[in-house]
Amino acid sequence: MRLANASPLVGLLICLTLPALAQDGSGSAPANAQDRRFGSGWNCDIGYRIDGGDCLLIDLPANAYATGRSYGTGWACRRGFEEVSGVTCAAIFVPENAFLMSSGYDWQCERGYRQFRESCVAITLPEHAFLTEDRTGSGWVCDRGFVAEASGCSPIAVPGNGYLTNAKYGAAWACERGFAEVDGRCDAIAIPDNAFLDTRSSGPGWRCERGYKATENACSEVEVPENAHLDRDGNSWRCDRGFQVANGQCVLGR
């Protein structure tokens, strides 16, 4: 009784399973198919695609080629064409003064032109400028010694004892070593006795030698009390280990 009651259910499971196996390329190979070289099952021949348990001829549109895949449409558009609605291959529009990119899926403007919407417009190159490979913006940059202003390139006014920085952003010029920027010019840095040039951006442009400290525009000798030594920078002092500061002196710590 149990087997008799189970037989309809078994039959239903078999019916549901067989289409799935066929859809998966398993079972006996139909026409226009061949057995897989490795493993079980079969694949449709090139130019055919799987549909249930059969291999149907692919309706190949113009400017397309068979992919060799048995699933999906089974075809892809040739270089320079794009798929439209899964049924045709339309030519990719390439405007004047442009070329199809190596990928075959898009276009790019030729050198000397820049993209504007769906066209390529000529780049107007001002005097003292050169073309760039940047496909955004103006498409050009100014020569060294010039700066972009409006639609042209103006010369950079560099003061005496200054030089061009070649920086894309920030100051276009800087002062030579030993000079500092003052009101648009480069003035010589006055270095006091017992000091040397300091190239750091902050400060007066000089530092006192070791054993000296800055006092206004001069360097005075550091007076090191007993039981003390010059600190790491050498421009001040600190108490020896075991001593502490008290009224400008170093006394034994408690």
* pLDDT tens readout for residues 161-171: 999 999 888 89
Q: Which two tokens stand for residue 35?
A: 């057995």
User: Are 29 and 86 in the same domain?
Assistant: yes
Q: Per the structure, how many domains does the chain have? A: 4
Domain assignment of residue 106, yes or no: yes
Q: Which two tokens stand for residue 164?
A: 């061009």
From 214, 187, 219, select the one nearest 203 (Cα to Cα): 214
Question: What does the DSSP 8-state code read for residue 71?
Answer: S
Range of the domain at 241: 222-253
Residues 155, 163 contacting (CB under 8 angstroms)? no
**Rounded Cα distance, 161 and 102, in Å:** 50
Domain assignment of residue 75, yes or no: yes
Of 66, 90, 114, which one is at a domain's C-terminal end? 90
Domain assignment of residue 182, yes or no: no
User: Are 70 and 106 in the same domain?
Assistant: no
Backbone region of residue 82 per phi and psi (left: phi > 0; alpha: psi in -120 to 50; beta: other values):
beta
Residue ranges, the chain, pLDDT below 70 = 1-26, 70-71, 201
Domain assignment of residue 74, yes or no: yes
**pLDDT attached to residue 243:** 95
**Rounded Cα distance, 29 and 241, in Å:** 93
Domain assignment of residue 43, yes or no: yes
User: Are 37 and 73 in the same domain?
Assistant: yes
Domain assignment of residue 56, yes or no: yes
Domain assignment of residue 78, yes or no: yes
Work out the angle at residue 107's Cα, subtended by the Cα atoms of residues 105 and 110, and round it to the nearest 5 degrees: 155
Alpha helices, DSSP H, located in 31-98: none
**pLDDT attached to residue 24:** 52
